[in-house]
Amino acid sequence: MRSKLPDSKLSIFSVMSKLAAEYGALNLSQGFPDFDTDPALIQLVTEAMQAGHNQYAPLAGNLRLREKIAALVLELRGKYYNPESEITLTVGASEALYVAITAFVHRDDEVIVLKPAYDTYEPTILVQGGVPVPVQLEAPYTSINWDAVAAAITPKTRMLIINNPHNPSGMIFQKADLERLEALVHGTDILILSDEVYEHIVFDNQQHQSVASVPGLAERSLITASFGKTFHTTGWKTGYCLAPKALMHEFRKVHQSTVFCVHHPTQVALATYLEEPGHYLNLSAFYQRKRDVFIEAIKDSRFQVTPSAGTYFQMLDYSKITDEPAPEFAERLTKENGLASIPVSVFNVNGQDDQLLRFCFAKEEETLLKAAAILNAI
Ligand code: PMP
Ligand code: GLN
């Protein structure tokens, strides 16, 4: 058999969560909350089911939900996406990313990916016969080397993928980053795939900088979003894509032959839940408190911290403790110390090691304090 992805290994998220379960370790590896979603949202889904919303949704998604998304994006980003033609509900941001790449990347097209990168981008590019062009950023990943990105652009560049706020580093883009990006792609036909799943989790009074707010980028961008991150429902796999009409037209051709549509009662419930802005506007403060509890609790440990600026991930530098490669150290920490994390190196070019582990702090404070006690003892 000729594999389309000969070099693809089992996802690090599955590897580490399985190891955590096997060894009974505290699991701060795979990114998901250890607390439940709002009972009011669960009630709304139940009511939507009882009201009979149990058959296929429209292929682009429930119209009322698309209208609510349009209003939210207009309010926060200052850009109107037409619910009829520019918004599509997807099976998590994952499907949106897959469809966006599939719809636009042709054989031999180059796609620039900033590393460390979330692990679905490159396999999807490869499956389409495209060529991932990785640009390795420098640890601790607090900024982007746009000169390196500029150097990676060629006449074959079809797409550039960005992720802001950034998983695994917690970096966020500044306005200047988007200005630089706009200047780089101006006059080209390069598309931007902007993965903004953590858009509502930005700390220290900073603002999320969406490509939607920059006209020269919005006109060529597909933006992915996830209700899983925003409403603590990663298991519901509900997200969406925003794009200008002409791009969305092509996006929907692939979406309709991939999943056609998304779980219907969830969409009906989300449309009502989104009517209360507090449900997403309070998320940054909610997670900033968790970040701060975690950082404060490990301040006397031998791990070095650059506070995360967004997402629900905190990277820790363990170079003062050992020179073991990150995958080995993460494995040992899980097996011997009972705490699972993600080695950042797996997201880098050729596994380049930066002696960083990623910890998910979407956890009850009690869990974070238990994790801190383990880290303090190392
Ligand atoms: N992009 C990034 C950067 C992520 O961290 C995630 C979460 N796993 C996704 C996309 C996928 O989101 P979803 O769970 O909604 O499919
Ligand atoms: N986005 C999550 C993370 O980064 C995990 C997603 C997954 O398990 N595939 O941890």
CATH architecture of 12-30+282-376: Alpha-Beta Complex (3.90)
* pLDDT by position in tens, the chain (length 378): 999 999 999 999 999 999 999 999 999 999 999 999 999 999 999 999 999 999 999 999 999 999 999 999 999 999 999 999 999 999 999 999 999 999 999 999 999 999 999 999 999 999 999 999 999 999 999 999 999 999 999 999 999 999 999 999 999 999 999 999 999 999 999 999 999 999 999 999 999 999 999 999 999 999 999 999 999 999 999 999 999 999 999 999 999 999 999 999 999 999 999 999 999 999 999 999 999 999 999 999 999 999 999 999 999 999 999 999 999 999 999 999 999 999 999 999 999 999 999 999 999 999 999 999 999 999
DSSP 8-state symbol, 86 = S
ipTM score for this prediction: 0.98
Per-residue pLDDT, 348: 98
167 ligand 2 Cβ < 6 A: yes
CB-ligand 2 contact for 30 (6 Å cutoff)? yes
Q: 194: Cβ below 6 Å to ligand 1?
A: no
Instruction: Please tell me the distance between residue 226's alpha carbon and the centre of ligand 1 in angstroms.
Output: 7
Which residue, by CA, sits nearest to atom 10 of ligand 2?
Answer: 31
pLDDT of residue 29: 98
**Ligand closest to the CA atom of residue 344:** 2
pLDDT at residue number 270: 98
Asked if 239 contacts 91 with a C-beta cutoff of 8 angstroms, the reply is yes
User: Given the CA of residue 118, which atom of ligand 2 is nearest to it?
Assistant: 4
Secondary structure class of 115 (helix, strand, coil): strand
Ligand 1 mean position to 301 CA, how many Å?
30
Q: Is the CB of 118 under 6 A from ligand 1?
A: yes
The C-alpha atoms of residue 171 and residue 137 are separated, in whole angstroms, by 11
Q: Which ligand has the minimum distance to the alpha carbon of residue 114?
A: 1
Nearest CA to ligand 2 atom 2: 31
pLDDT score for 271: 98
* Residues forming a β-bridge with 27: 340
Cα 12 to ligand 1 centroid, rounded to whole Å = 14
pLDDT value of position 175: 98
Contacts of 212-215 with C-beta under 8 Å, sequence gap 24+, read: 212/73, 212/77, 212/78, 212/79, 212/81, 212/242, 213/77, 213/78, 213/79, 213/178, 214/178, 214/179, 214/182, 215/79
Check residue 139 and give its pLDDT.
96
Residue with CA closest to ligand 2 atom 7: 13
Atom of ligand 2 nearest to the CA of 17: 8
Distance between Cα 267 and ligand 2 center (Å):
22
What is the pLDDT, as a whole number, of residue 22? 98
Architecture of domain 55-278: 3-Layer(aba) Sandwich (3.40)
State whether residue 191 is helix, strand or coil. Answer: strand
* Nearest one of 9, 3, 6 to 346, comparing CA atoms: 9
Contacts of 283 by beta carbon, 8 Å cutoff, 6+ apart: 200, 201, 230
Reported pTM: 0.98
* Ligand 1 atom, smallest distance to 95 CA: 16
Domain limits, the chain: 12-30+282-376, 55-278
pLDDT of residue 46: 98
- Is 239's C-beta closer than 6 angstroms to any atom of ligand 1? yes
At residue 88, the pLDDT reads 99
Bridge-based pairing state of the strands 313-317 and 356-360: antiparallel
